[in-house]
Structure 1
Amino acid sequence: MFPATSLFAPVEADLKILADNLKQLVGNRHPILYAAAEHLFGAGGKRIRPAIVLLVSRATMQEQDINPCHRRLAEITEMIHTASLVHDDVVDESEIRRSVATVHNIFGNRIAVLAGDFLFAQSSWYLANLNNLEVVKLLSEVIMDLAVGEIQQGLNRLDTSTSLEIYLQKSYYKTASLIANSSKAAGLLSNVTTETAEYIYSYGRHLGLAFQIVDDILDFTSSSSALGKPVGSDLKSGNLTAPVLFALEEKPYLEVLIEREFAQEGDLEQAIALIKNSQGIQKSRELAIKYSKIAVDNIEELTPSQSRQTLINLANYVSSRLE
């Protein structure tokens, strides 16, 4: 869990405004969709993505205050992220998220799919109202990337020949694209130069990849209560992440267990033990640290400020979660 209060101190007040606005943005014209949204946004969550947008906004505005477009972008970012989670949970048949029941578990698949669609549609509408074509293009690409990432994950399910490159591409689509493109969009709303916008994008891309790799490691090394879902649930669903792909290089029997889809009793437990007894977790950790460092190098190109320092601290914190 992110120590949000200490880590996001420069935008703590902004995040409170965001939390209040999110429910209002959904509106109450559709009682069931509103109930679903209230359940989603009420569950809290770490609000990492909108916090990054707000921090980039403040870091690029320097002495000036951020404007309503920056705030709306942060809200749109959280809406897109939440919509993708609703759909992911339906596809993955997840019963819980953030230790609370998923939308489809409470309202059924039909409502969950419609609620996700509704949030995507609402976010697109608010995005168009920013009247900034470049920002619209960036966030529209994110929505496409999320769908491509989910399809790619489904196609690569239980495929032991999946390369690390394919895994990283899928991780970009599913996680890093939103962080990278919304961060860049925040910079564009602050009228930064093209060069600075690319540094911000690269920060978000590498932070997002590090964040996903760390999450994939914690799926094996953390506890069910800390994760808010069962340990090894990604592997059980056939999603082969960095620790698994690295472990496959040195544990041939792991391939046998995966390819028979953990059909025999104790298969999943044995697979988790093989991964833990391999270099898979250590190699994944080294990769996450490498990406965190690249993220820091990029954001250090911005003028020093409290918000820039927080973005640096955030990148360093991502890899420190493994210590």
Structure 2
Amino acid sequence: MTPATSLFAPVEADLRILADNLKQLVGNRHPILFIAAEHLFGAGGKRIRPAIVLLISRATMLDQDITARHRRLAEITEMIHTASLVHDDVVDESEVRRGVPTVHSLFGNRIAILAGDFLFAQSSWYLANLDNLEVVKLLSEVIMDLATGEIQQGSNRFDTSISIETYIQKSYYKTASLVANSAKAAGILSEVSKDVAEHLYAYGRHLGIAFQIVDDILDFTSTAETLGKPVGSDLKSGNLTAPVLFALAEKPYLEVLIERKFAQTGDLEQALDLVQASQGIQKARDLAAHHTKLAIDHLAVLPPSESHQTLINIAEYGLSRLY
């Protein structure tokens, strides 16, 4: 399996510039926030979201170099993503992220929430300075969607009646909205046609949904070391994902275990066994493959290029993490 970072050959130099710029963008006026931001951006991560923005920028600007506004959009995308992770970790009470301690575990919940707020505010300020109202609207919608997705997930905990459609909608809000809207925004900055911009949005939408489904499958099939969190932690917290929703149709007793919130000894282990014994994981794989194919199909509007091929490779890489 190809590691994600080796996929980004056409924009490797761009991503190095981005890594340097992210720390500078936060500034050092607030020492504790600066330390928190350095910790976050120093933790690395795969940088898939800004890489997609940069690749789409290059794939739509073949006969000229990408602009400073394209680069700033990629930086804004990573800032929004990072801010959402800081808040997610507080909500989920996660102690580790990407193998390093979370901001709230180092600095406390108060600083973590303020650091997330600060990054959202900074990203909004830099966004306004792009002087493109359509792009401002797209990325502002992402910040609303992130909050909507988190609220939806929190209010649906341990609810065995939610549908796959509701799960897909939540996955869009929490993961795919940022990929979809930033992909479209990159096209808009390249002055592509409305039709091409919509195809770029659809690529990001289906890619983001596929990535989320794959992450949710790995919560059952991977190891704690690889995940950086205990296996089955989503299920334990009442977050019912695609493998569980599909398994519920086959294994009625799973509903009993979930609705009593795994109150009895061995409940969680039994629930994990039921998911494994069902077709839930395979059906979730099929769903992820479906969205991956749709994402790739929407790229057909772009002319052939190394960046275009890399966007296809990223979609295929997402699915390959399952095998």
TM-score normalised to structure 2 length: 0.99
State whether residues 2 and 46 of structure 1, in contact with CA within 8 Å, keep that contact through their aligned partners in structure 2.
no
Cα distance in 2, alignment partners of residues 195 and 111 from structure 1: 43
Cα distance in 2, alignment partners of residues 270 and 2 from structure 1: 34
Aligned-pair distance for 1:317?
1.5
Aligned to 1:235: 235
AA partner of residue 31 (structure 1): P
Cα distance in 2, alignment partners of residues 112 and 321 from structure 1: 30
Cα distance in 1, alignment partners of residues 287 and 48 from structure 2: 21
Cα distance in 1, alignment partners of residues 267 and 69 from structure 2: 51
Aligned to 2:107: 107
Q: Does 1:256 align with 2:256?
A: yes
Cα distance in 2, alignment partners of residues 48 and 167 from structure 1: 23
Aligned to 2:167: 167
State whether residues 56 and 187 of structure 1, in contact with CA within 8 Å, keep that contact through their aligned partners in structure 2.
yes
Bigger drift between 285-294 and 264-273 goes to 264-273
Aligned to 1:207: 207
AA partner of residue 304 (structure 1): P
Q: Does 1:86 align with 2:86?
A: yes
Bigger drift between 260-269 and 44-53 goes to 260-269
Q: Specify every segment of 5 or more residues in structure 2 that has no aligned partner in the other structure, as ranges.
A: none
Aligned to 1:6: 6
Residue 60 of structure 2 aligns to a residue in which SS?
Answer: helix
Aligned-pair distance for 1:287?
0.4
Q: Does 1:67 align with 2:67?
A: yes
Aligned-pair distance for 1:269?
1.2
State whether residues 300 and 308 of structure 1, in contact with CA within 8 Å, keep that contact through their aligned partners in structure 2.
no
AA partner of residue 105 (structure 1): S
State whether residues 222 and 231 of structure 2, in contact with CA within 8 Å, keep that contact through their aligned partners in structure 1.
yes
Aligned to 2:185: 185
State whether residues 5 and 46 of structure 2, in contact with CA within 8 Å, keep that contact through their aligned partners in structure 1.
no
1:75-129 deviation per Cα after TM superposition (whole angstroms, max 9, x unaligned): 0000000000000111111111111111111100000000000000000000000
AA partner of residue 15 (structure 2): L
Aligned to 1:313: 313
Cα distance in 2, alignment partners of residues 2 and 214 from structure 1: 16
Aligned-pair distance for 1:31?
0.6
Residue 162 of structure 1 aligns to a residue in which SS?
Answer: coil
Cα distance in 2, alignment partners of residues 179 and 36 from structure 1: 24
AA partner of residue 252 (structure 2): P
AA partner of residue 18 (structure 1): L
CA RMSD, Structure 1 to Structure 2 (Å): 0.9
Aligned to 1:127: 127
Aligned to 1:54: 54
Aligned to 1:287: 287
Aligned to 2:77: 77
Cα distance in 2, alignment partners of residues 151 and 28 from structure 1: 32
Q: Percent identity?
A: 79
Q: Specify every segment of 5 or more residues in structure 1 that has no aligned partner in the other structure, as ranges.
A: none
Bigger drift between 191-200 and 223-232 goes to 223-232
Cα distance in 2, alignment partners of residues 54 and 4 from structure 1: 15
Cα distance in 2, alignment partners of residues 75 and 263 from structure 1: 44
Aligned-pair distance for 1:5?
3.7
Residue 46 of structure 2 aligns to a residue in which SS?
Answer: coil
AA partner of residue 222 (structure 1): S
Aligned-pair distance for 1:2?
6.4
1:223-273 deviation per Cα after TM superposition (whole angstroms, max 9, x unaligned): 111111111111111100000000000011111111111111211111111
Cα distance in 2, alignment partners of residues 165 and 5 from structure 1: 32
Residue 261 of structure 1 aligns to a residue in which SS?
Answer: coil
Bigger drift between 72-81 and 93-102 goes to 93-102
Aligned to 1:220: 220
Residue 262 of structure 2 aligns to a residue in which SS?
Answer: coil
Q: Does 1:98 align with 2:98?
A: yes
Q: Does 1:149 align with 2:149?
A: yes
Cα distance in 2, alignment partners of residues 285 and 17 from structure 1: 36
